[in-house]
Amino acid sequence: MRVTDTAQKAKWSPPAHVKQEQEEVDVSRHEDGEQEGEEADLSRFPLIRVIVKGEDEQDEGEPRQDRSPRGDSACQTPLGCSPAAEESQAGERIFICPFCGKSFNRQEHLVGHVMIHTGEKPFVCCVCGGGFSLKGTLMIHMRTHSGERPFPCSVCGERFSQKVNLTTHMRTHTGEKPFSCSVCGENFSQKGNLMKHMRTHTGEKPFPCSVCGERFSQKGNLVIHMRTHTGEKPFSCSLCGKTFALKGSLRKHTRTHTEKPFGCSACGKRFSQKGILMRHARTHTGEKPFSCPFCAKSFSVKGNLLTHTRIHTGEKPFSCSACGARFTVRSALVQHVRTHTGERPFACSFCGKTFSQKVSLMTHLRRHTGEKVPPQHTHKKSKT
């Protein structure tokens, strides 16, 4: 790759102690060992690659007395680089972005950077059509299609498609947290996590909901919130097919099928969720932490308080789609709907007679037993 000499276009000649170079540049390497680039044509950009030599430097075989240093600036490129900047980089090759002035010590890095300004993406994925400004970035992207993971963890063997992901993963083993919050001092293993954390101090919420306008500090929270508008439930139980909007909700639900890790210390009964155990524990302690703001009646379960409060407010959020009748609790609506459908899910185990309400079955059973209804005789009719 050759650097185009634009000095002639600008009618400019370098001072005697500035060596102007044209050399082949290896673009198959990147600073992180992964990135690759194409052969760069910088003839589009008004810059010159230069070597600024110090006073004590000389070419091999060149008499020192023939190279007396000058007092004026060695950098007079058409970009208008400041002399101090060039002199401070004595002996270094400098490539300067014509758009923003950022400098690079390798030509291929400048080429990739300039495409940020131009929007040029000459490398196209043959699988999905995605465009990229650098060949190395395309190669990394191709691993999402091929499944290639060339970077293995030396500790646990997990493999990664990018070296940077392996570096981040290694911190889970080493405990390294190189990113520190300047406000509270909390440390993080990833820069992105630090940026998210900083919003707790600044109050910044850059992600707005396009439907209701509510704003969020993290994009993930916005994605979850949007499901309240769309009704999307992307997480499905593999055992019963029930769907959930949150992955955590699915995880809790799955325990109802597979495990009950939370045990009651009083009676030994086990539960699939910690919240259910806490509710159960109140049956032993008698605790009723939820108080009605209208009558001061208290409840052990928050849901029972909400239902009770509707007595005071008159709210009836559950309506029948057939006749429009409204109810304060869902169970009352379910019972009412049976008057339209004719469904009678409660069957007598003695004579087989069916009922639409459980209380009606319990009353009927007394005719058979002559006593208080045993719990085992109250059940729903099995579906055929």
pLDDT at 91: 58
| Assigned token pair, 253 | 């639900």
Percent of the chain, pLDDT > 70? 72
Average pLDDT over residues 250-264: 88
Instruction: Encode 112-137: b = buried (16+ Cβ within 10 Å), e = exposed.
Output: bbbeeeeeeeebeeeeeebebbbbbb
Average pLDDT over residues 322-342: 92
pTM for this structure?
0.40
Q: Running DSSP on this structure, what letter comes out for residue 44?
A: G
pLDDT at 60: 41
- Is the pLDDT at 65 greater than 70, yes or no? no
Average pLDDT over residues 199-223: 93
Burial class (CB in 10 A: 0-12, 13-18, 19+), 81: buried
Average pLDDT over residues 79-106: 64
Amino acid at 252: K
Percent of the chain, pLDDT > 90? 47
The C-alpha atoms of residue 41 and residue 44 are separated, in whole angstroms, by 7
pLDDT at 256: 85
pLDDT digits (tens, 9 = 90+) for 116-153: 888 888 889 999 999 988 888 899 999 999 999 999 99
Partners of residue 180 on adjacent β-strands: 187
Which of 60-69, 89-98, 165-174, 233-242 shows the lowest per-residue confidence on average (mean pLDDT)? 60-69
pLDDT at 104: 86
Average pLDDT over residues 101-127: 87
More confident residue, 83 or 380: 380
CB–CB of 65/55 below 8 Å?
no
- All structural domains of the chain: 1-56+74-120 (no CATH), 131-174 (3.30.160.60), 179-230 (3.30.160.60)
Strand 298-299 relative to strand 318-319: parallel, antiparallel, unpaired? unpaired
The C-alpha atoms of residue 380 and residue 356 are separated, in whole angstroms, by 10
Average pLDDT over residues 178-183: 94
pLDDT at 380: 52
More confident residue, 224 or 38: 224
pLDDT at 92: 66
- Is the pLDDT at 176 greater than 60, yes or no? yes
Q: What is the mean pLDDT of the chain?
A: 77
pLDDT at 321: 92
pLDDT digits (tens, 9 = 90+) for 187-196: 999 998 999 9
pLDDT at 252: 85
pLDDT at 40: 44
The C-alpha atoms of residue 102 and residue 111 are separated, in whole angstroms, by 12
Work out the widest C-alpha separation in the chain, in whole angstroms: 126
Residues in the chain: 384
Average pLDDT over residues 103-114: 85
Q: Is 119 left (phi over 0), alpha (psi -120 to 50) or beta?
A: left
pLDDT tier for residue 222 given thresholds of 50, 70 and 90: very high
pLDDT at 291: 94
pLDDT digits (tens, 9 = 90+) for 303-324: 899 999 999 999 999 999 999 9
Q: Note the helical H segments in 78-181.
A: 83-88, 107-118, 135-146, 163-174
The C-alpha atoms of residue 343 and residue 358 are separated, in whole angstroms, by 12
pLDDT at 372: 60
**Residue where the block lists tokens 């109810």:** 327
- Is the pLDDT at 333 greater than 50, yes or no? yes
pLDDT digits (tens, 9 = 90+) for 3-55: 333 333 333 333 333 333 333 333 333 333 344 434 445 455 444 444 444 44
pLDDT digits (tens, 9 = 90+) for 355-366: 988 888 988 998
